[in-house]
Amino acid sequence: MNVATDEVPRVLIVDDEPDLCELLAITLQGMGLTSDSAGTLKAARAALAQGPYRLCLCDLRLPDGSGLELIEQIQRTLPQMPVAMITAHGDVDAAVAAMKAGAFDFVSKPVNVAALRGLVDTALRLSRVRAEQVTAPTLTGDSAVMQALRVTLAKLARSQAPVFIRGESGVDKERVAHLIHAQGPRASGPFVPVNCGAIPENLLESELFGHIKGSFTGASADREGLFQAADGGTLFLDEIGAVPPGMQVKLLRALQERAVRPVGARQEVPVDVRVLSATHEDLAALVSSGRVRQDFYYRINVIEVMVPPLRERGEDIAPLAVDLLRRIAGGERLSLTSKALEVLQGYAFPGNVRELENILERAAALCEGALIDAADLHLPKLFADPSGPTAGNGDLDSELGGVERERILEALLASRYNRSAAADRLGITLRQLRYRMLKLGIN
């Protein structure tokens, strides 16, 4: 083993190929790092016991077992230390298995020195962030499901694996993605969210990858895409199910090669981006229907996170309301009466956290004084009073139409009558919103 001082970061190399160990050691030494080498699981465990190390580079196949065993052990005993798996070229299944086990990232044989340097830099930033215990904003709510979600997000922040965030419209999937970014080594880099469903299909490639001057009508200058804007940080692709299959092929290549080709360009541009994605739709069902390619599905869905709807965590409504009112009111002090809180806790919130925010914004504007009462909430009559009789004697279509009409009006008001933004808030397409407005007589 190499001798290292406490001041210089140490890296543990676990591989049974002496030539590869020497190459990795020379590369690390050129970066001002020291390294120790171990050729077996047993030797690696002994080295870890002597530690400390800032990073571990581990081969998948070892003489006395699998590198996955070492990853799992490090996750249990040294969760702050990043681990990168060394895999055979093209062994995507092994790379996915490593990331699910807790690996930070992977590097393929033969090792690309430039890619290795980038990986090591990012890993050391991650271990430094963890050592300094930098805190990030968190999700409001103390329900069991939210506590479990926060633990999961903290683990995912240590990885570079693609994460797919699933949840109903309005559960704040973008905030979940932002938390993964903010707690990881890319926190100092940009977080770039994009709603794929809001970009016209013919512009999506240019928006994501950029274009060069003259590549199409209207391209009067070179323009960077969102992948390049997110370089060194995180790109969040919301409503990923809206990406057409042809574009999915190009996204798949960008994810695999870590490079993008701007529209009209001959050469690819390397990008260092972690991609997170989300949709309110059932992605597996979209694969079955042919809207989402199977290979694209497996690439973006390495790790899946489910964000629970608000109706499944009613105990979080009160702290959420307090937090939202603080943001809405600014310097003023606004609070809910016990009756208003009771009404909110009895409401189903089909629009989830986003709907709660809209309700409170409206109530804050309409209430008299610093107290918001039940009447100020203006909930749909079908749900307004949990202690009252259920609305059952009227025509069901009329009742549901009234609820739908109010939801649409709320979304239009919250988006200042921007129909595209309102459709996004409601989790539907602009065409669907136009049809429903016409049907309900909303001008």
pLDDT in tens, 185-216: 888 888 999 999 888 888 899 999 988 888 87
The number of angstroms, rounded, from the C-alpha of 13 to the middle of its chain's C-alpha atoms is 30
Q: Is the peptide bond before 79 cis (omega within 30 degrees of 0)?
A: no
The domain spans of the chain are 10-132, 144-308, 311-440
Whether residue 391 contacts residue 382, with contact meaning beta carbons closer than 8 Å, is answered with yes
The whole-chain average pLDDT of the chain stands at: 83
Report helix, strand or coil for 148: helix
Average pLDDT over every residue of 4-9: 58
Q: Residue 130 pLDDT > 70, yes or no?
A: no
The correct answer on CATH 1.10.8.60 for the domain covering 311-440 is yes
User: Among 115, 110, 28, 99, which residue's Cα sits nearest to residue 12?
Assistant: 28
Confidence bin at 402 (pLDDT 50/70/90): low
Can you tell me the distance from the alpha carbon of 96 to that of 85, in angstroms, rounded to the nearest whole number? 10
Query: So what's the pLDDT on residue 166?
Result: 93
More confident residue, 104 or 295: 295
What percentage of the chain carries pLDDT values higher than 70?
88
Start-end of H helices in 269-418: 283-289, 294-300, 317-329, 338-345, 352-366, 374-377, 396-414
- Domains 10-132 and 144-308 fall in the same CATH topology: yes
The burial class, CB within 10 Å (0-12 / 13-18 / 19+), for 38 is: buried
> If one looks up domain 144-308 in CATH, what number appears?
3.40.50.300
User: pLDDT-based confidence at 100, cuts 50/70/90?
Assistant: confident
Query: Is CATH 3.20.180.10 what the domain over 10-132 is classified as, yes or no?
Result: no
Ranking 47-61, 76-90, 329-343, 354-368 by mean pLDDT, the lowest is 76-90
**How far apart, in whole angstroms, are the C-alpha atoms of residue 255 and residue 91?**
15
pLDDT beyond 60 at 87: yes
Q: CA 18, CA 430: separation in Å to the nearest integer? A: 60
389 C-beta neighbours (distance < 10 Å), count: 7
**Strand 274-279 relative to strand 303-306, pairing:** unpaired
Given this model, what pLDDT does residue 326 score? 85
Query: What are the residues whose beta carbons fall under 8 Å from the beta carbon of 68, sequence distance 6 or more?
Result: 60, 97, 98, 101
Task: Give the global pTM.
Answer: 0.63
Instruction: Let me know: does 236 contact 230? Beta carbons within 8 Å.
Output: no
